[in-house]
Structure 1
């Protein structure tokens, strides 16, 4: 890649000739690693015009760098960084003197949050029991590419390049309203739908609008770690409530809460499904105690054993339920495409808040997704994923029982993971690294709990990204480590 002349600037405080300063600029770029061997330098004419110096000055500087083996000349082709130039030091020296007391300057820290580790090279492990990653053998990359190419066409120029302020792609919103939501028993108008950057962004917007220092939020324990951190940012009063084998029990809720965050269809991470009786009791309690419910309905498409239960939002007659949906689990997590469904008044405020931080999602992403969904590719993909997950679940279920491992939770409708319990006295945190060395990736339970110590006896075992043929060996190694 050619190096632009615009990366060079002369320092009027430099004590020396222009030629020596140009030499130093090039040498520093090479020694810092910014200029790589084989990259082309600006021509002497271009660099001279940019710096406002004579061309002979630049030429002389380049010749000195050639003599020192920093550069090489290729006749009329130009000047290039030499492949035998001095390599950058292993530890580049920091020329800045950072004297800022960042501990005092930063008002609130976000870097020490507890999150589920997602190894960047998970695909290179033979037994990746990691949750929520796309399986390249299942995803319909060809049709996604075709939809993306069409969204780049002249017909969609406005959706590709336009600034929609706080609006969303009408084709995507229409598909969600007419096809996605009715499958969950939900009827909504476009004015009641907002596109978000995945479910995480939807939860953040909701928390920012509904919570404050004088309000109380209740959330499930254990729960999605990202939710707990989002709620903490509002500085509201937090009240975790333990779940059981049927999910959240309405009878355990405090009477003075303002907002409840729940995953009734597929509790995260235990995978428990809340029975219809509990859902109706929860809505009655919300009406009696006058609180709102934020329903995270992730992974409902992965129902291959039984039909997924109706969404809590579909039973809501008072408008108390705010619904959070996402395509990140069923399409691919890097898409970061989710949506909020609520009353028109709430969505209007949510749209205004979103506009202050990112206005709207990229138009090309929205239109590509709209094409992929509306042309039937999405439904075909979901069917293919369901079949694969069904097979993998059966293999994993047999392997788990053969090895004598304990299942703490498994979604009744299907899903893509098991919530596992360790043998008595085993700290899963101490086993993670040993398993990784043997090619097995699992997700320890500590990040999901309010008190991390409560999660040391649990872990999540997903089967969405591992071929069925590798599951038996992976479970065998896992069982060996847990017994050792």
Structure 2
């Protein structure tokens, strides 16, 4: 790879001769890791023209660096960064001088400091990763995804690849969602009622921005998806956090002044509770009585390997007050960031306009690739394959839980890819999680899922989508040992 001549410039305030400045410039690039071993430097003629100096000055600088083993010469091919140059493994930009701007004063809004935790980036290096929501490379259909991606890059799909979709989405993807995905959930929708989003999180944000303001009130489940709570905090609305029970959100606890109800009826996040059909009808009736809108996150319905999932809440909606959110990011891979939101045409029209103002639209090539992956049957095949593996892992993890005397608080009647666990009272799972890391075990503390007024520290989530079956029991043995030691401490 050649180093661009545009990366070189002279500092008018620098000390020393031009030759020395060029030597220092190149040496600094090599020592910082910005220039890598084997990369080609610009020719002396090109660099001289670019800097507006004599070519002999550049040649002398190169010759000195060659003598000091920073550079090597390959005949008429030019100068390259030497293999013997002291290059660090990772490029680290130099620390800039102190900024004059007081950003704490200048920033009028801050989006840090919420409950959303950071997940371990190096989780693949752990032997026992009971981590939730990450893709298992052994289950993903790399070959057919690659073929669909290449097909989407073809001349036939040039428009889908390059067009600006600010006021629409990929018609093939919308058609598949309308004709196949939504009818499986009992939902019938026209293309004008469907909007592609950057995952469910983006869909929830759009809903919050359009439906709520500082004089509004939102009802959410407790515990719940922590990012949703953070998003509503930034909207500035009043948030009522209602504790869920074994059947999910209790409709009778929703206050009369609620404007928007956020819920996960099919697979409550994170307790995995499934709302029975009778309660779903009660929830719709309660929303009707108080004239509230419901935002339904149909979370993880695809992973129903134990029995068929119940129809979506929106399928029972005769008032048009349910906004439905779905995602392909959980079922394919989280880095895909592709989901959809379904609602009345008036709502989707405004959601599309808001999306266009913020990010225009999800990339056309990604939409077309997913459309092919879905329409050619690869998605359904992967879901069936993944469900079979998750079912096997579920059996192994349940047996290991019984063996080690661990307590399950929620296990999902239809399946899923995680269990909601409860440690003994007085145990702080954040501390246990840190203690387990040296043993190569990752578990997810449950405290961030709870609101501040209902916060509990002895719950945690065990994901089994990214850990092989043969490592589940040894990993849970280490977890059980850590819990026992904490109890006796």
TM-score of the alignment, normalized to the shorter chain, above 0.5: yes
- How many corresponding residue pairs? 484
Looking at structure 1, the residues matched to 82 and 190 of structure 2 have their Cα atoms a distance apart, in angstroms, of 63
In structure 2, the residue matched to 1:414 is 415
5 Å-filtered alignment, 1:3-402, equals 3-86=3-86, 93-402=94-403
Offset from partner CA, 1:109-166 (integer Å, 9 cap, x none) = 2232222442122122221111111111111110001100111111111111222222
| Structure 1 residues 171 and 292, CA gap change in structure 2 (3 angstroms) | same
Is residue 116–residue 443 contact of structure 1 (8 Å, CA) maintained in 2? no
Q: For the Cα contact (< 8 Å) 1:147–1:368, is it kept in 2?
A: yes
Whole-angstrom distance in 2 between the partners of 1:137 and 1:29? 40
Cα pair 1:166 1:354 within 8 Å, conserved = no
Measure the CA separation in 1 of the matches of 2:193 and 2:43.
58
How far has the Cα of 1:35 moved from its partner? 1.5
Change (3 A) 1:93 1:300: closer
TM-superposed CA distance for 1:14, in Å, is 4.1
Query: Does the CA-based 8 Å contact 2:268-2:299 persist in structure 1?
Result: no
Q: 1:382 to 1:73 in 2, by over 3 A?
A: same
Q: What whole-Å deviation, never above 9, does each CA across 1:391-420 have from its counterpart, x for those lacking one? A: 111111111112111110110011111100
Measured in 1, the distance between the counterparts of 2:441 and 2:86 equals 41
- SS at 2:455 equivalent: helix
Q: Which deviates further from its counterpart, 116-125 or 85-94? A: 85-94
Q: Structure 1 176/11 Cα, relative in aligned 2: closer, same or farther at 3 Å?
A: same
Q: Deviations over 1:66-105 (max 9, x none)?
A: 2343322222221122334355699875242212111111
Q: TM-score, normalised by structure 1?
A: 0.96
CA 315–95 in structure 1, closer or farther in 2 if over 3 Å, else same: closer
Would you say the 8 A contact 1:73–1:80 is kept in 2?
yes
> Is the Cα contact below 8 Å between 1:117 and 1:443 reproduced in 2?
no
Deviations 1:332-373 (A, max 9, x none): 111111000000000000000000111111111000000000
Matched position secondary structure for 1:99: coil
Secondary structure of 1:238's aligned partner:
strand
Q: Which runs of 5+ in 1 are unaligned?
A: none
Counterparts of 2:234 and 2:462, CA distance in 1: 30
Q: Distance in 2 between matches of 1:469 and 1:116?
A: 28
Deviations 1:13-47 (A, max 9, x none): 44554333322322232233312233211111221
Using the TM superposition, give the Cα deviation of residue 452 of structure 1 relative to its aligned residue in structure 2, in angstroms: 8.2
Which residues of structure 2 form unaligned runs of 5+? Answer: none
Supply the distance in 2 between the matched residues of 1:430 and 1:218 (Cα, whole angstroms). Answer: 31
Corresponding residue SS for 1:325: strand
Per mean C-alpha deviation after superposition, the further-off stretch among 264-273 and 41-50 is 41-50
- The 3 A distance-change label for structure 1 pair 90 and 274 is closer
The answer to whether the 8 A contact 1:263-1:295 is kept is: yes
Which region of structure 1 is more displaced relative to structure 2, 30-39 or 171-180? 30-39
Moved more, 170-179 or 278-287: 278-287
What SS is found at the alignment partner of 2:218? strand
CA distance in 2, matches of 1:172, 1:418: 32
SS at match of 1:455: coil
Aligned partners of 2:410 and 2:421 also within 8 Å = yes
For the 8 Å contact 2:32–2:92, the answer to whether it is kept is no
Taking the aligned partners of 2:277 and 2:43, their CA distance within structure 1 comes to 73
Q: Given that residues 115 and 447 in structure 1 are in contact (C-alpha distance below 8 angstroms), is that contact kept between their aligned partners in structure 2? A: yes
User: Which deviates more from structure 2 when the two are superposed, residues 88-97 or residues 199-208?
Assistant: 88-97
Compute the TM-score of the two structures, normalised by the length of structure 2: 0.95
